[in-house]
Chain A
Amino acid sequence: MIFDNATRQTNQNNTPAAYTKRQTYRTRHEEEASFMKAYDHIIRFALLITAVIAGFFIIRARLVPESFGVQGSYSYAFYRADSADEQAALPAVHQGSAHCSACHAPQASLRQTNAHAGLECETCHGSFKAHNNNTKERMAVSGSVDACMLCHAALTARPAQFPQIDSFSAHVAQQNETLLPGMTCVTCHDPHAPM
């Protein structure tokens, strides 16, 4: 009963007895300790956030290539600058007629005086690929009628002034020639000097 009375005396704000009693006996040291304890969760949170931000920048530095960034325009030039140089270093496959005439001078000079003067060797012969790369891989040279007809077959869409023939047999008949087995365009026309 005495205990009950004592409790009632201190319990002025209807708080539990045990809590009120503890507060009464707090020292200054205890006050400071409880202050630290009260902010402990914030300190831990701040450390965590710092670690996350630091981690972000470390990972970002590793993932983003060195030359990546804005190269003059946000909208159109936000890229890895090294990429352009990498692409520029790709080997060229087509070499141009000047490259061929070093070994194939007769054909090159013949071609220059004729209807096919404006043509590159690679237009008909295809790209050089490995041919001039010391491997001397044979190039596809097609003497077939189809190869010539790719350009010279009569099509409505072709410019009228461009030389065209309706068909190989019709062309042979038109030229008053006899169509023989095995005959192709190159029987009569040297492809390097067709006309």
Chain B
Amino acid sequence: MKHDRREFIKKAGWTFIGSGLYINLFSAGPALAGSRSSALKNLYAFIVNTETCIGCGKCAAACRAENSVPDGNYRTWIERYTIMHSGSVEVDSPHGGEKGFTPLSFNPADIRKSFFVPKLCNHCKKPNCVQVCPVGATYVSPEGFVLVDEKRCVGCSYCMQACPYSARFMNPVTHTADKCTWCYHRIRQGKTTACVQVCPVGARLFGRVDDTDGPVAQLLKAKRLQVLKPETGNEPMVLYVGLDKEVH
């Protein structure tokens, strides 16, 4: 066999072109052939208004009833941020705020401001938790909901570590990863989420982003909104009204 530079460059060239073609032809295949979803869309957004939240904890209680959340775990919870004149930040969330809050023990003169921040799974566009799952047990649904397939979950809790929002927990009953589903079952049945439904002051809103008459689209237009920890690059779909820089 002839081995010279010309032959080598020729063969290398053909290999390069061939592998390029292979990647183009075959890697596009499964993505185009997606059976139930053409592409991932984040059709829904959840808006939390920290300016109206009264910290009654009805949302957390309703969530527990709706989703059979075990005691001691929370799919949604309320944090109370208290910012002092000194600049220090105090955060408390007794029982996840589910049983309400007691008055602050600080000297009122020292408090600059105090407010409630309800938290839940952010149903991110680019969720870390989904990427790290080794068994394909957590995923972004065609509607943009981040869900857990408890039949596939092996309980490695890698997703819990990956979530920058601590939204996930290990369910002590099923021993699988668990978190807020944005009441996926209720949404698919044409209802709204349990927490949105029971909120007495309308501090929580949920709806389609593209529904121009809907409450979410109107707030998106009317308010300046912020997300938690934008620097993580997860692109959360829970948007906050009145979020201070101290909140993380």
Binding site for B on A (CB under 8 A): 65, 67-81, 83-84, 87-94, 96, 118-120, 122-123, 126-127, 129, 149-151, 153-159, 162
Q: Which of B56, B61, B114 has the most CB of A within 10 A?
A: B56
Contacting pair A156 B103 (CB below 8 A): yes
Contacting pair A73 B116 (CB below 8 A): no
Contacting pair A76 B139 (CB below 8 A): yes
Give the 6 A-B CB pairs with smallest separation, nearest first: A79-B139, A88-B188, A83-B149, A72-B34, A90-B185, A127-B65
Contacting pair B126 A76 (CB below 8 A): yes
- Consensus secondary structure, chain B interface: loop
**Cβ-neighbour of B56 out of A79, A91, A150 (below 8 A):** A150
Contacting pair B104 A76 (CB below 8 A): no
Which residue of chain B is the closest to A70 with respect to CB atoms?
Answer: B30
Q: Shortest CB–CB separation between residue A17 and chain B, in angstroms?
A: 42
**Cβ-neighbour of B202 out of A81, A92, A118, A159 (below 8 A):** A118
Contacting pair B100 A150 (CB below 8 A): yes
Q: Which of B161-213 contact A (CB under 8 A)?
A: 181, 183-186, 188-189, 191, 194, 197-202
Which residue of chain A is the closest to B152 with respect to CB atoms?
Answer: A80
Which residue of chain A is the closest to B141 with respect to CB atoms?
Answer: A84
User: CA of A73 to CA of B99 in the docked complex: distance in angstroms?
Assistant: 41
Contacting pair B189 A88 (CB below 8 A): yes
Contacting pair B181 A83 (CB below 8 A): no
Q: Which of B34, B80, B127, B139 has the most CB of A within 10 A?
A: B139
Q: Which of A81, A119, A149 has the most CB of B within 10 A?
A: A81
- Consensus secondary structure, chain A interface: loop
Q: Shortest CB–CB separation between residue B64 and chain A, in angstroms?
A: 9
Q: Shortest CB–CB separation between residue A58 and chain B, in angstroms?
A: 21
Given contacts A87-B147, A92-B66, A127-B62, contact A75 B130 (CB under 8 A): yes
B114 cross-chain contacts in A, Cβ below 8 A: 155-157
Given contacts A83-B147, A83-B149, A129-B65, contact A119 B200 (CB under 8 A): yes
B40 cross-chain contacts in A, Cβ below 8 A: 72-73, 76-77
Which residue of chain B is the closest to A89 with respect to CB atoms?
Answer: B185
A158 cross-chain contacts in B, Cβ below 8 A: 54-55, 116
B214 interface hit (Cβ, 8 Å): no
B15 cross-chain contacts in A, Cβ below 8 A: none
A76 cross-chain contacts in B, Cβ below 8 A: 40, 126-127, 130-131, 139-140
**Cβ-neighbour of B142 out of A68, A71, A155, A162 (below 8 A):** A71
User: CA of A146 to CA of B62 in the docked complex: distance in angstroms?
Assistant: 18
